[in-house]
Amino acid sequence: MYEDSDTCKTRVPIEGVVTDDDVKFYAFDKRLSYSKKKSRISLKNLNIDLKKFLDTKKKEKKKKSKSTKGKKLLIIGKNSHLRYDEYRLITDSYDVEVKPNGDIKAIGSSYGDIIKFSKKKDVFSMKALRIKDKVLHPLINFKGLQDGRYSITKKGNPEKVMNGQIIVEGGVMSGFKAYNNILAFVNTLPALAVLHKPGYSEKGFTIKEGVAEYRMINKTKMVFDSIYIKGTSATIVGKGELDLEKNTIKLDLAIQVAREIGKVIGNIPLVGYILMGKDKSMTVGLKVSGSLEAPKVETTATTDILSLPLDIIKRTLQSPQHIINK
């Protein structure tokens, strides 16, 4: 049990009542209550680390005889947050069903948004539809996406591979070194002066829509199989990876200028890192690499731009509702 972000409780005053058919006890000034008969824990203004709780139950189960049959436990929370390993669910209320074998089925509400998650053996899955940024940040441990609405799914074994997808509706991308360094690099190239249009600003890159598909491997490496972000004046596509253990980044990006600026770019001289489209659009290839604190940005050859999965990502985004129907 904990309060705020990580203030854990170690000394807990408990009171309770024992009868022939039930055991009831209360803790934390009755913010926690338990009924053995109902097999239910109720929490109010108190948070729980669900993984640590289940690990404790596993140890207890080993001590009991094999003939002892358990029953499912219901955890009900109000104004309570859930934590499972590195994931934090900022919820107003939730219902968690814990089966005797440790499987979980839960649903929570956060600022009016619905979050569903479950664990079956070693497979963890989560689905959150059109959530706000304050709910998204602790789920992905990243605050570079602000405002807007986000739909996120995750599924897999957290100790091995987790597959995920994030769909973005509006908002701003900002507040991290890779973006700042890309913007600074763009400002040094005269041929890219057209990118200094609305969409890029001190606040960040304004997003209309976007989707990213990724894999988290062994909790140490995040591989982006595809990234598609459409802004007000430019579209960003790419792929790459973040190594959280080595604290490094490696991304291949293509920035395509919107058609509305076609008249401006018509006068830009062709260079090796710019790809001109039939619709007078311009696509610039960039490579981002090095440490997360100080990533290096450089141009890439036009042939490398063509290898980025632009068409595949566009098709994914054209039907964002598919995430809801799963």
Q: What is the pLDDT of residues 68-85, one digit of tens each?
A: 467 899 999 999 988 877
Inform me whether the pLDDT recorded for 277 exceeds 70: no
pLDDT in tens, 203-252: 778 889 999 999 999 988 999 998 888 887 778 888 899 998 899 999 88
Q: How far, in Å, CA of 257 to CA of 230, rounded?
A: 10
Supply the pLDDT for residue 31: 92
Spell out the residues 6+ positions from residue 57 whose beta carbon is closer than 8 angstroms to its own.
98, 102
HEC assignment per residue over 218-251: CCCEEEEEEEEEEECCEEEEEEEEEECCCCEEEE
CA angle 313, 208, 239 (to 5 degrees): 35
Say if residues 135 and 108 touch (Cβ distance below 8 Å).
Answer: no
Q: Could you give the C-alpha distances from 310 to 248, 256, 284, in angstroms and in order?
A: 24, 10, 13
Q: Is the pLDDT of residue 122 over 60?
A: yes
Tokens of 261: 């600026």
Q: Which of 146, 252, 249, 236 lies closest to 195 in space, CA to CA?
A: 236
Residue 248 has a pLDDT of 93
Q: Residue 186: which residues within 8 A CB-CB, separation 6 or more?
A: 192, 195, 196, 200
CA-nearest of 116, 77, 158, 104 to 324 is 116
319 has a pLDDT exceeding 50:
no
The string of pLDDT tens digits covering residues 175-208 is 666 767 777 776 676 655 555 554 555 677 888 9
pLDDT at 158 over 80: yes
Nearest 5°: CA angle at 166, between 241 and 124?
A: 85
pLDDT category, 265, cuts 50, 70, 90?
Answer: very low
Residue 81 has phi, psi (to 5 degrees) of -105, 155
Of 289, 262, 292, give the one whose Cα is nearest residue 277: 262
pTM above 0.85, yes or no: no
Q: Which of 46-55, 99-108, 173-182, 185-194 has the lowest mean pLDDT?
A: 185-194
Give CA–CA dist 119/79, Å, rounded: 23
Q: Give yes or no for residue 263 having a pLDDT over 60.
A: no
Question: Hey, what are 270's tokens?
Answer: 């062709």
- Asked if residue 312 lies in contact with residue 264, where contact means CB atoms within 8 angstroms, the answer is no
Cβ(298)–Cβ(192) below 8 Å: no
- Whether pLDDT at 324 is above 50: no
Q: What is the pLDDT of residue 165?
A: 93
Q: Which residues contact 13 (CB under 8 A, 6 or more apart)?
A: 27, 28
- Six-digit token pair at 216? 């988290």
Measure the CA–CA gap between 228 and 324, rounded to whole angstroms. Answer: 19
Rounded average pLDDT over 283-298? 86
